[in-house]
Structures are given as C-alpha cells and as structure tokens.
Amino acid sequence: MIYSHWGLRESPYAAGIDPRAFYQSTNHEEALARLHFLVDQPRRVGLLLGDSGVGKSLLLEVFARQKRSAIRQVASLSLLGMTPAEFLWQLSLRLGRDLPPIESMFQLWRSVSDLLRENRYQQFGTVLLLDDADEADSEVLLQVARVAQIDPSPAARLTIVLAAQSRRLGNLGRRLLELSDLRIDLEPWSESDTMAYLRWALLQAGRTKATFTPDAMRHVHRLAEGLPRRVKHLADMALVAGAGSELELVDGEVVESVFHELGVAVTSCG
C-alpha cells in the first residue's frame, strides 16, 4: 500500500547489497576504474577505504560481477568473525574445491596454495575481494599476508583487495600495509550526487513524477551526511511517512520529522 501510493513497483531504496541498486557517482566511478586497474595491470594488494555506509560492500559486489570471466576467477568473502581455518576453508571453497571443514590447517593451506598455482599454470587470473578486513582477527590477516606472498611472480596474476574503514586502517597490520600497491578512497556522495540518486532510484522503481521537493532532497543529504546507506534508509522512511499522510510530495519538514523520530536508527545504520 505504501509504494502503490507513489506508483512504485517496489521500494526504490531497499536495504541490502543489490548490484541493480548501484548508483555510479563520480567518486564511485573512479573507485571502480581504479579497482579494474589493480587487476588488469596486475597489482598484488589494494585497499578500498571509506566510512561505514559509504558503499564499499556494494562496490565490491558490482566489481566482482564485472570481473568474473573465463580467464579470471573471483572469490568474495567477509572476514568478519572468521578464524584462520574458516578463512582458508572458505577461500578454498570459493576457488572451486569443496573440502571438509574439519581439515587441518596444513591441508587447508595446501589446498589454497595448489588452487592458486593451478590458476597460474592455466593462465587464469585470481582476484580475492576481502570485505570487513579492519574487523578481522590478527591471525586471519597473517594468513591473508601469507596468501599475498605465496607466489611473488607477476605471472601469478593474483590480486587481493581489502575493504576497511579509513579510521581503522591500522588494524590491518604493518605487513599488509607494506604489501599494498594502491589505496582507493571511497567518499560520501556530494549533494548533487544524492539528489541525482534519489531521482534515479525512483525512476528505476517506476515513478516518473517528482516525489521529493528539492528542499527535501537537500535535507536528506545533510542529515544522512551523504552516506549512501543512510540516504537510502532516510529516504525510504520519508516515503513511508508521506504515504501515511497521503501527501503528493515529500517536503523538508517530513524528512526532518522522520529523522528526529527515527534518528537513532538512521544514524546507527551507517
């Protein structure tokens, strides 16, 4: 009923990691181009940095889909909460070898090592996209550094991308920071980016008429601090409030009201 009020097929600002919802702002476009550079050159380790909610996980998913091909293998996983054994097992699984999770560390490491060498001999590139690296256990990060150094030859065509919050960069440890070849900083949206995104997402969901006043869009940007995840959440809640009041347009007052009523949820969702 909420979205039918606005003539929408679905929520234009749904939460979650959906590549269809990826809005390529100027900064996000540049970050994506630099990720492609990392892999195509190739370089061994890259850092994707930005505040929580800026869109790192979604960007990695979009990049993974673009890079998977017959000549390149891409493995994506979050390091949050993993043990070293779980990391090696999950990595092995995503590279195509299903091992029992009870294998020893030696067997798990040998499996990953063999898979990377097989890719080299078959002239396959290997791309490892590791999210939440700043929240990984230090022993897991040691395993990541070990993988990065398993075959130093450029012929290995191995690239590892570590996504982390900028303020927690030190958590990656000295070794991985020394191995990094390129730092990619993902910035919050500008006001024009936010306004363009709000219109674009509505159009994708079937709405061709104006829905937010310019003042409302500026309020969304300011209150969400340009962070995509917060922008989506605040805009979605404003649509709900506007439909409940049977409004024809969402104005700045509605956005302010929603923010103050749900301020804890909006600010913590980043």
Convert the pLDDT of each residue in 260-269 to its tens digit. 987 645 555 5
Q: What are the pLDDT digits (tens) for 21-77? A: 899 999 999 999 999 999 999 899 999 999 999 999 999 999 999 998 878 899 999
| Mean pLDDT for the stretch of residues 77-84 | 97
pLDDT for the residue numbered 270: 44
Q: What percent of the chain has pLDDT over 90?
A: 83
Cα separation, 46 vs 34, whole angstroms: 9
Which positions ≥6 away from 259 have C-beta within 8 Å? 219, 223, 234, 266
The neighbouring-strand residues paired with 130 are 77, 162
CA–CA–CA angle 89, 93, 96 (5° rounding): 145
Reading across the β-sheet that carries 72-78, which strands appear in turn? 72-78, 125-131, 158-164, 45-49, 182-185
**pLDDT of the residue at 59:** 97
Domains along the sequence of the chain with CATH: 26-185 (3.40.50.300), 189-268 (1.10.8.60)
Half-sphere exposure of 4 (CA within 13 A, CB side): 1
pTM for the structure as a whole: 0.92
Span 203-220, pLDDT tens digits: 999 999 999 999 999 999
In terms of Cβ atoms closer than 10 Å to its own Cβ (0-12, 13-18, 19+), residue 60 is: buried
What is the CB neighbour count within 10 angstroms for residue 203?
Answer: 11
pLDDT given at position 65: 93
When pLDDT is averaged across residues 82-90 and rounded to a whole number, the result is 96
131 - beta bridge partners?
Answer: 78
